[in-house]
Structure 1
């Protein structure tokens, strides 16, 4: 199977799959992707009902333009049923809860291959939520061509390590995840700080801006009010787009004239700068 493209979702909205009123509102939230959650937001007693209702929830979410993903459960007996239900209703991706190692990811990929047949659709988004998985982020990111992004479960990690979710230890893990994702050619998703308080827009914009500068391509959220801020914060600015276009144009002109070096706005432009410019223009598209 050929490699899937790295994820380009700026905003991913978690929605409890078992709460009809939240599902009904999800298509109008403006998120690039909706995550129908079968895991943490669904009580144990309602797991089976949430899975059985997944097709209806998927159909409603498909009324908007967003991709629709499913976060599956652990242990394995629940995970397999969740994946089967997700594939049956055409999920665009699977969030693998508490990804352990490359073998774990490959098992999910094998199950997807079997269920989907010769037309692969669902991407895999492993969640790094244990200290053991932190040590294996690089192999997890590169485990399958289906892997499109990496995410870090800050609360689960903090609970295991005895720190708080906003401690520098968690920030360090997230920064290392950016490196692991880049090495594998996939997208790191997340923020360097909490975005749980959807009312403090100034703080949210600051956290999102810092996260984008650190290399993150988008983030998940649990409140629709955060979606517009993620879409804005993880999108290229007009100033960035203008500079990128002029850098690409200058490179094309220099090539026609047989020149290997040139400058734009008083700064020398070389291949790393051009790669960034191409990435900015691709993100805008």
Structure 2
């Protein structure tokens, strides 16, 4: 089907409308996405220059098929496809030889690559190391309950850790140890790439160790939680790690976490019911 435009300005304006979101969107892109954007811009610049030339040298009106115009629309790369090569790099990573030799497998992250909400923990535990998925132990079960009470399913959000390997422990010891600053610094670039691709509307850091790994600064949870922070322009809510709530069963501490999550819901402009407002974990 052929469409005659009243004038070249209209066609150029339509192209600008289609291309506009590409250039207006103020988001950080990884190198691959940035290259695609630059290629799109170069192609559009070429089309506009050609149309201007036609207007200057011909009396005939420019014509374009509907298919040609539709092809000018930008289609963002699939985020799962962009995450896949990072997952593979994590899978074979040996930057921390002591962790690479002691782990069962790496724990990359799980959930919706297009999620509005992203939770960040500190490191995999024994259960996560065994299953290859973050937050699947007792603390993970509590986190899932929090997510579901917020009105999401676990598959609608994204969950990742600062470290992708379980921190090693001395032979014969039980429990988990916190990541060292060097381990977090080494593994942090993987998380940064995940955040840049997923581009959540809100980040939630679970516990002081996750905050240190993400922001590079220490602080007490009493000082940090319950108010908004920012990570590279993305709103960041800091709250207690679910494991802390398993150790401290007092209703007041549980209520603090839920009040933090109510703030997250409001920032996401999600409806909050009266039942949710009065809920205790």
Whether the TM-score (by the shorter chain) exceeds 0.5 is no
Decide which structure has the larger Cα Rg and report it.
2
